[in-house]
Amino acid sequence: MAGWRHMTGARIARRAATAGAIALLGGALAADGPDGARILPRTEAEAARVAAITALPTDFAAPWAFEANQGGAGTVRRRDDREAFSLPQGNLDFAQRADFAVGNGLFERLWVTAPASTIASDGLGPLYNVRSCQDCHIKDGRGHAPVGPQDDAGSLVVRLGQPLDVDAARGEIEAYLGAAPDPVYGHQFSDASVPGIAAEGHVRVEWEEAESVALAGGGTASLRRPVWSLEDLAYGPLSPDTRISPRVAPQMIGLGLVEAIPEADILALADPEDADGDGISGRPNIVWSPEHDAPMLGRFGVRATTPTLRQQAADAFHADIGLASPLRPDPWGDCTEAQTACRAAPHGADPAQGGFEVSGESLDLVTFYTRNLAVPARASVDDSAVLRGRELFYGAGCPACHRPTFVTDRIEGEPERSFQLIWPYSDFLLHDMGPGLADELPAGQATGAEWRTPPLWGLGLVRQVSPEAGFLHDGRARSLEEAILWHGGEGLAARGAFASMGPQDRAALLAFLESL
């Protein structure tokens, strides 16, 4: 109890809310998955099989069974072009592939200003960042920070917020918010707008030398730090209490499989008080679901703030493109009450679309598309350097956060993602990554220093799909080596292990990561 006495009131309330929400997760939604689909319980024999096949390995001499099929039975061949992240899961049937294609068309659709000649594509903005989902997730891959003064970095967004004082006496829903919007600029900075409405401004970044890291063998690695600014503000200054959090778009592969991981399997990995003393204290982000009107496990986003892919799609339509859907019905997107011209501008909501700009059917098709983007097969699983790198990865303790395997739930009516052995290399929990990566903007119950462990599958194809892509949440890392060396906090020991490896071993570990 001594540790609790030294916590701030905010931390006590946050942990109490987390504990209470975890207990609630066994309630009304226990028989359903995140998307509302019915989950079929595992038999004792199946549970034993899962425990055996997902146990951390001890033999590193040869490739492991099924290791090459990172995405289970839906894994697709590893392409050598920019389409590597854009394929449907290999186990979809003919009708599902048709729905996937229609969803892809909606994902790529360019939205236009209302009113327009077609109700299916109008309603853009009035404030927005991009005109299509594909503009942000180019080729379904990672985004990048601005690379020059002429780069508008459409694949990067800047979240805004004011940290809230966590008070245990606040209402149930409010306990999951973490931050309030800027009173004028809202939750997200919009650097584009329709004619007649002023865009909020422009995002700028300057790069400065952060640290030169000494590496075993005599080399050094230089880390750069972004210094962000919001310029040409059209609606006055930001509130002095507002914090900013730039994030680049992640790659889209394997999301439906992540959604199908049993909630209990992720929660079982949580160790918020570091009871085992390994320096790793991952914890879940329990968030409020407006779709299910209940607390749920956050799985998606850099801080695990979103519980389902349908909500993620609705949130992106709303904040990034300014479109109303059944889950985000405001036709003005993220415009605040202070932005009166924006709220009064024409919108594209139409009875033929269910009273929205993105109909429920369209939202479901985009969700189906994002749910079924396939994970490519591993490369070079039997290469000697890759095998050596894999052993070093495990020896450095990386799987404490980058958990290699899960087996997905049995989902009624969805055999394509049911009971699949998958290799995402993530625990999907929050971890404190130290002051170097902190941005002071809480998200849900995540502090400004906590980030969800990102999956590593597809890592070796990121630059093939998106040549300018950067690594980490804001794209600051220009290489996988830099990404590792930015690890602080709970990742500090792994960073130290990597830096102390000789050049050949570091190259082998990077070869393993590139094989994913």
Q: What is the pLDDT of residues 199-211, one digit of tens each?
A: 999 999 999 999 9
SS3 call for 229: strand
180 neighbors 441 (Cβ within 8 angstroms): no
Is residue 122 domain-shared with residue 84, that is, in the same domain? no
**Helix %, strand %, coil % of the chain (to 5):** 30, 15, 50
Is residue 355 domain-shared with residue 411, that is, in the same domain? no
3-state secondary structure 112-180: ECCCCCCCCCECCCCEECCCCHHHHCHHHCCCCCCCCCCCCCCCEEEEEEEECCCCCCCCCCHHHCCEE
Q: Is residue 9 part of a domain?
A: yes
Is residue 252 domain-shared with residue 394, that is, in the same domain? yes
SS3 call for 400: helix
Element (H, E) at 265: helix 263-267
Is residue 142 domain-shared with residue 266, that is, in the same domain? no
Residue with the bigger pLDDT between 85 and 170: it is 85
Q: What is the DSSP letter of 352?
A: G
Is residue 358 domain-shared with residue 267, that is, in the same domain? no
User: Of 355, 371, 387, which closes a domain?
Assistant: 371
Listed residue (386, 363, 264) closest to 308, CA to CA: 363
Is residue 377 domain-shared with residue 474, that is, in the same domain? yes
What six digits make up the tokens of 451? 């980030």
Amino acid identity, position 480: L
Report pLDDT for 170.
53
Q: Is residue 221 part of a domain?
A: no
Tens digit of each residue's pLDDT (9 = 90 or more) over 458-500: 999 999 999 999 999 999 999 999 999 999 999 999 999 999 9
DSSP result, 63-129:
PPTTTT-TTGGG-B---SSTTTT-PBPTT--HHHHHHHHHHHHHHHPPPBPSS-S-TTSB---SEES
Is residue 22 domain-shared with residue 106, that is, in the same domain? no
Q: Cα-atom radius of gyration of the chain, to the nearest Å? A: 22
Is residue 80 domain-shared with residue 197, that is, in the same domain? no
Is residue 366 domain-shared with residue 498, that is, in the same domain? no
Q: Is residue 223 part of a domain?
A: no
Residue with the bigger pLDDT between 150 and 53: it is 53
Is residue 73 domain-shared with residue 33, that is, in the same domain? yes
Q: What is the pTM of this model?
A: 0.92
Listed residue (474, 500, 447, 385) closest to 205, CA to CA: 474
166 neighbors 281 (Cβ within 8 angstroms): no
Q: Is the peptide bond before 126 cis (omega within 30 degrees of 0)?
A: yes
Structurally, how many domains does the chain consist of? 2
Is residue 367 domain-shared with residue 382, that is, in the same domain? no
Residue with the bigger pLDDT between 174 and 38: it is 38
Least confident of 108-122, 128-142, 363-377, 399-413: 108-122
Q: Is residue 421 part of a domain?
A: yes
Which residues are 122's β-sheet partners?
A: 112
Range of the structural domain that residue 198 is part of: 95-171+179-207+307-371
Give Cβ neighbours of residue 439 (< 8 Å, ≥ 6 apart): 243, 244, 245, 246, 448
Does 300 have pLDDT greater than 60?
A: yes
Q: Is residue 237 part of a domain?
A: no
Distance set, CA 299 to CA 245, 452, 454, 516 (Å):
19, 8, 10, 21
- Quickly state the pLDDT bin for 176 (edges 50, 70, 90): confident
Does 31 have pLDDT greater than 80?
A: no
